[in-house]
Structure 1
Amino acid sequence: MIHNQACDVLERLVNRVERVIIGKRNEIELAVVSMLQGGHILLEDVPGVGKTMLVRTLAACVGGTFGRIQFTSDLLPSDVTGVTVYHPQYGNFEYRPGPIHSHILLADEINRAAPRTQSALLEAMEERKVTVDGVTYSLPQPFLLLATQNPLEYEGTYRLPEAQLDRFLMRLSLGYPVPEQEIELLGRNQEHVSDIKPVLLPEEMVVMQRQVRLVLVDDRIKSFLVGVANASRHHTHLSLGISPRGTLAWMGAAQAMAYYKGRSYVIPDDVKAVAGAVLGHRMMLKTEAKISGMSGEDIVSDLLKRSDISLFNRASGGTA
Structure 2
Amino acid sequence: MKIKLLSTIIASLVIAGCGSDNDNSVTTPKTKTYTLQAFDGAIKGIEGTFNCANGETGKITKTNGYGKSDVSNNTLTTEPETCTVEFTQTSGAIDMSNSKDMSNVSYSIPKGLMAAGKPAAATPISSLIAKYMKDNQIAEFDNSTASEVFSLLEIDTNNLNIIEFLQSPKAALEKLATAAPDTHKDLLAKTFVLSDVLTSQKGKTSTIKDMAIATKKITEALISAHPNFPKSSSNGQLINDSFVSDLESSFEIIADPEQQLPDTLKDKVTNPSTGKERDPETGEPVTGGTGGGTGGGDGSSGGGTGN
Give the TM-score taking structure 2 as reference length. Answer: 0.28
Give the TM-score taking structure 1 as reference length. Answer: 0.28
Larger gyration radius, structure 1 or structure 2: 2
